[in-house]
Every structure is written in structure tokens, then in C-alpha cells.
Amino acid sequence: MELEEPELREVPVTAVLAALADDVRLQIVRALAAGDEYACGTFELGVSKATRSHHLKVLREAGLTRTRVAGTSRYVRLRRDELDKLYPGLLDAVLTRSTAASNT
Amino acid sequence: MELEEPELREVPVTAVLAALADDVRLQIVRALAAGDEYACGTFELGVSKATRSHHLKVLREAGLTRTRVAGTSRYVRLRRDELDKLYPGLLDAVLTRSTAASNT
DNA sequence: GAGCTTGTTCGACTTCTGTCGAACAATGGT
DNA sequence: ACCATTGTTCGACAGAAGTCGAACAAGCTC
């Protein structure tokens, strides 16, 4: 079972943006940006595991994350370097803003 | 009839991203970024005027554009300064990429 | 191998979104 | 006043997206 991890250049901009335009997924991205690698199950998202799996798939297929299989777990990490290279400022802009989202 | 043009700070990040995550709207933003001010009717989008109106509304309510009423026309422009201040790099990242979107 | 753990996939359902034509509103010109 | 122009709003509709529980798959551990 191959994981679908496209080249970032081949992902339409709109797909990248759409992947980021969701609260749950933004939570995931924020968590990933704060650390290195996380097992899928470690995210506190307030949704079922089916839904979590769905969102991780969306992120992966939008080229935002990579997934490493290890035993029964899967470890996810942000493709930050590639993202920053192809969309300089995007991730920073989104993350800075989202962590400070409770401001007026 | 007041036009709804929210403070950018009060628009959720996800709403801004969602507004940009559409091909038609990206066309509009690209066109706006290339010039200054455009009447609604001047966009070549390949959609009905109802749809065009809808998309312009989405952009406006996401805080991305301002609209000036003049007679029977409405002139739209990008809120680029505010955008760049609040989301440095976002617009550039998106626009650079989208104009080069036909690459491999 | 039985059973547990970790994730994915499969319907099913609901809500959201893009799209359109038609009707409406507001303005300007003749 | 009438009509044309420019946009918006109103249903209506189809397709996409988020959500869930349940079933399934793949590895571990005993």
C-alpha cells in the first residue's frame, strides 16, 4: 500500500490552500510545525479517528506532509523545507496568524 | 446597502485561505494584483454574472478586497497592504505560484 | 494463534459551495 | 418617463467535503 505523496510542484495552488483552509487540519499543521514527527494518534483534535485519518490524508495528498510507516503506527511530519521553497512566507503567515487567532 | 468589509484581523485564517482556494477567485485576485482598480464587469472569468458576483462577495467578506460604488458600477481592489502586513508572504507566495501554475 | 493496538476504508448522512437563470434594484441617458 | 446598463439577490440544483460508526487490515505481544 503506497502512500500518495505528490511532488509539491504538481499540486495546484488551490489544493494547497484548500488543505490549509480547515480548522482541524490547521490544528494538525500547527502541531507539526511545533515539533518534528508525530504519530497519527497523538493529535488532540476532538474528532473521531476516521475523521482524523481523513484530514491527514488530505494534507498528505496536498503535498503538505510526509508519512513514515513504522509497525502499526504512522509518523507524520511537515514538508516545511519544500513548502518554504515553493511558497515562501505562506506557512509562516498562516501559522503566525493562527496561533494568535484569538486576538481582535 | 452597506458593503460588508470586515477588519482583516477579525476574519479567521481559514476564511482567508478558503477565499483563495478557488480557481475563479484566484483569477480575480491575480487580475487585481496586476493593476489597481477594476469594475466588476471587466473580469473575464467564464462564469455567469451571478457567479461572478458571488465570488466577489466571498473575496470582499474574507477581507481581501474593497469595493467602491460609482454610479451603476462597482470598482474592486485588493487590500494588498493590509494583507501583506497581516500575512506577510501569503499573497506573493500564492500569486507567484499561480501565475506559474502551468509548469510541471 | 488469539487478542490488542493503530490506522484506513466504507457507506451513509448532512452541510457547504459553486453554478445558473430569472427577477429585482439602482443609476444614467435620451 | 422609459429604457438600457450594471450588479445583486433569490431559489434551485449538483457535486464536494466533513463527520461518524462499523468493518477491515496490518503489526505487535503473549
Q: Which CATH architecture has domain B8-99?
A: Orthogonal Bundle (1.10)
Question: Quick one: A23 exposed, middle or buried, by C-beta within 10 A (0-12, 13-18, 19+)?
Answer: middle
The 3-state DSSP class for residue A43 equals coil
Please, which pLDDT band fits residue B3 given cuts at 50, 70 and 90?
Answer: confident
B63 in Cβ contact with B80 (< 8 Å): no
Positions in chain D where some atom is under 7 Å from a protein CB: 4-11, 17-23, 26-28
What is the per-residue pLDDT for B97?
74
Q: Which residues pair with A70 in a beta bridge?
A: A73
* pLDDT tens string B55-74: 999 999 999 999 999 999 99
| Residue among A48, A64, A50, A59 at smallest CA distance from A22 | A59
Question: CB less than 7 Å from strand C: which protein residues?
Answer: A 1, 39-41, 49-50, 52-54, 56-57, 67, 72-74; B 1, 18, 22, 24-25, 47-51, 54-55, 58, 71-72
What CATH number labels A9-94? 1.10.10.10
What is the per-residue pLDDT for A15?
97
Domain ranges of chain B: 8-99
Query: Mean per-residue pLDDT for B4-24?
Result: 96
The DSSP letter of residue B22 is: S
Q: Which regions of chain A are under pLDDT 70? A: 1-2, 98-104
Q: How far is B68 from B18, CA to CA, in rounded Å? A: 23
For residue A77, what are the CA distances in angstroms to A30, A38, A60, A97, B98? 11, 7, 10, 20, 25
